[in-house]
A and B are shown apart, each in its own frame.
Chain A
Amino acid sequence: MSPAGGVPVGETGMAGAGLDPESIPPEERARLPKPPERGPIGSTLIAIRDGNALTTILAVVIALVVGAILIAATNPTVQSTAGYFFARPTDMLSAIWACVSGSYLALFQGGVYDFSQANPLVALQSLGHSIGFATPLIAAGLGIAVAFRSGVFNIGGQGQVLMGAAFAGYVGFTWDGPPIITLIVAVLFGLLGGGLLAGLVGVLKARTGANEVIVTIMLNYVVYYLLDFALQTPLLQDPKSVNPISPPENANAIFFNVLPAEYHVNIGFVLAIAATFACSWLLSRSSIGFKMRAVGENARAARVAGIEVDRVFTAAMVISGVLVGFAGVYQVLGTTTTGFTSGVDAGIGFNAITVALLGRSRPWGVFWAGILFGVFQAGGYTMQAAQNVDINAVQVVQSVIVLFIAAPPLVRWIFRLPQPKGVVA
């Protein structure tokens, strides 16, 4: 995680309901990176220097403690030993230790490195799984972040993921073309799908002033039900199934693995890394990115400076939708290649908001936030299976971690840490 890079900024169009330069607390302000934006390594170094890495680690520690309480409190062994705590307290304490340590070990083994495996290459497969979860989150998170930086709040991730999935999936199962070409066409169609839907929002906002928060929320539902409908018609439904599920994707449309198959790391992840670089370039080096940030920070000044604000809004939405659409593409061509349903968005649209904000709307911040979420998701299954921890408890622990990471002042207060150096006020 690298929260080194400032905070998301810009009028969100929820009529100020968002993130404004003013919203940056003084101590954050002082830590705002000086443009140019740095790459991943640079910002990590800065993070350590400024003590951000420390607060992040401490945030995770607190969250894990909170999670431990939850895990222990609901563990049947702990509950039964609690009955005779005063008679033999060691029983309960060891039960707590067993379930808590077991759960977190499981999380680590399932999400990062399975040290129960003798072969380190096999042990690393866990990380591969996490990357599989992280890839669409990174892409969608980038999309949300780009919109944010431009002052638009895109809550329409769900709809855009579904569009991306449906468009790419459609090409992938209808067209059995040559290798690579098929994949490229399918991906491009998926990006088109996401871009079209988000572009519609942008155009509505530019033309009628319709608030994008409302429109994107509503479009999520509309797209969901329309996709569900289409999945019951010959357009998308697998003729071999009565269920609302699409046919499987053709082999040439599927993301090929870049590591041995057991790692489940495919070209999609490489594309996500490329997208991160691209977004980083877009926001910090490109002309359109410059305009987007200008509009996001101060739309009035941007307009006076000859920047066509409405066009930038629309462009930002389209770029955002394309990136979020890629998450959908990944879902059908990388994750569930055997046919998709209306649940193919897998909650990515909403998780991506958290990922984007957690990454402070900086491309590399989003990248690491996405990886963190991926680890949680992959590890969550092992936690469930190994320690019988409820999936919902895993979700609670995740949320708590995010809240603490997002609140460095709170973490510093808990640990009575001094303010980072060079901070005003």
Chain B
Amino acid sequence: ATSSASKSTFLPCVVGDVGGFNDHSFNELSLEGVQAAAKQIGTTAKKVQSQTSTDYAPAFASLVAQKCNSIVAAGFQFGDPLVASAKANPKIDYVMIDNTTTPELPNVKDVVFKTSEAAFLGGYAAAAYADSVSKTPAVATYGGQKFPTVTIFMDGVADGVAYYNTQKKKSVKLLGWNVKSQNGSFVGNFTDQNKSKQIASGFLDQGANVIIPVAGSLYQGAYKAIGSGDAVLEGVDADVFQSDATVKDKILTSIVKKVDLAAQTATSLAASGKFDNSTYIGDLKNGGVALAPFHDYESKVPSSLSSELDTIKAGIIDGSITVDSPAATTLK
């Protein structure tokens, strides 16, 4: 919608959800994406973080008042306030991350992710690794709170582990999540590191070899639970090996959801006047979600794993392997 804006005056903006811009998750990544785009354009982005989960409208209003040209918002609760703001400000381009909005507006772009596809690979890799290091292999996952953006990871992981078991006729256990009953282990928030640590310890007691905490920065608690033990972690959202050097020695791999890339791309498009309202679905095919490299574990995972993962990835892309997640049902 904004085509007249020249590069120097274009003002990209971002709204964060209550978790804050340092959540090691979608807020942080969307800010990074917008800031990266701003740097490219040669400007600085404005950011506003909601103080509570009901005042999204004022957050938008304050950015509108700053004369932002594009606004990126991440978090499912933003949906309707964003639509309302977009309706009132047709000249501003809006990017809605992790949610699909109705009705379709010309200046709103939805960004969603088939996270379960990457998580499937993550689950498979975890199972393979666990199987290679233990006679009683087990993979554990737990969440911060039971949000679909969280459980979609857990679904994918569970399917991946199950796929490994059927393919290899093994019985790698999955702890912490039951796809069928959609019930599992949760911290109850995204801040209680001590509790996260105790839950991870509990999984270690149950013999977990790989732990996948889907809980923002709470993987730090899990890292401490492992201590000098042999178990490893899988990161989520970002490639945690790169984003948090303090834990990289235990990061087997990460299930990456490229919110940053999506935010950056959409912002750049808006700046260059090429913004469109088509929904972006990040998946394995377009690289919107991915399994990060094994980095230091490259040599410790079974040598055939990489090629197996490539095959599975191809299978998922061509549809021969399906990943089910109730949480993904709205992703057209």
Contact = CB atoms under 8 A, between A and B. Distances in A.
B148 interface: yes
Interface stretch (A196-204, A299-307, A333-341): A333-341
Interface residues of A, number: 36
B146 A241 contact: no
Nearest to A116: B65
Contacts of B80: 248, 336, 338-339
B65 A244 contact: no
A395 B58 CA distance: 16
B132 interface: no
Interface stretch (A57-65, A282-290, A343-351): A343-351
A346 B329 contact: no
A381 B146 contact: no
A347 B51 CA distance: 9
B330 interface: yes
Interface string A246-271: 00100000000000000000000000
Contacts of A384: 47-49, 62
Contacts of A363: none
B327 A385 contact: no
Contact of B52 (A343, A378, A388): A343
B188 interface: yes
B248 to A, nearest CB: 28
B58 A243 contact: no
B188 A344 contact: no
Interface residues of B, number: 37
Contacts of B77: 243, 245, 341, 343
Contacts of A388: 46-47
B62 A243 contact: no
Given A225-B188, A243-B99, A385-B48, A129 B18 contact: no
A246 to B, nearest CB: 11
B192 interface: no
Nearest to A346: B52
Contacts of A381: 48, 55, 58-59, 61-62
B53 interface: yes
B273 interface: no
Given A110-B62, A225-B188, A335 B54 contact: yes
Contacts of B49: 384, 391
A341 B58 CA distance: 18
Interface in B112-134: none
A50 interface: no
Interface in B66-89: 66, 76-77, 79-81, 84
B54 A382 contact: no
A13 interface: no
Interface string B304-332: 00000000000000000000001111100
A228 interface: yes
A386 interface: yes
Contacts of A335: 54-55, 57
B96 interface: no
Interface in A347-371: 347
B145 interface: yes
Interface of A: 110, 114, 129, 132-133, 225, 228, 232, 241-245, 248, 331, 335-336, 338-341, 343-344, 346-347, 377-378, 380-382, 384-386, 388, 391, 395
Interface of B: 13, 18, 46-49, 51-59, 61-63, 65-66, 76-77, 79-81, 84, 99, 145-148, 188, 326-330
24 contacts: A110-B65, A129-B61, A133-B55, A133-B58, A225-B188, A242-B326, A242-B329, A243-B148, A248-B80, A335-B57, A336-B54, A336-B81, A339-B80, A341-B53, A343-B18, A344-B53, A346-B51, A346-B55, A377-B58, A381-B48, A381-B55, A381-B58, A382-B62, A388-B46
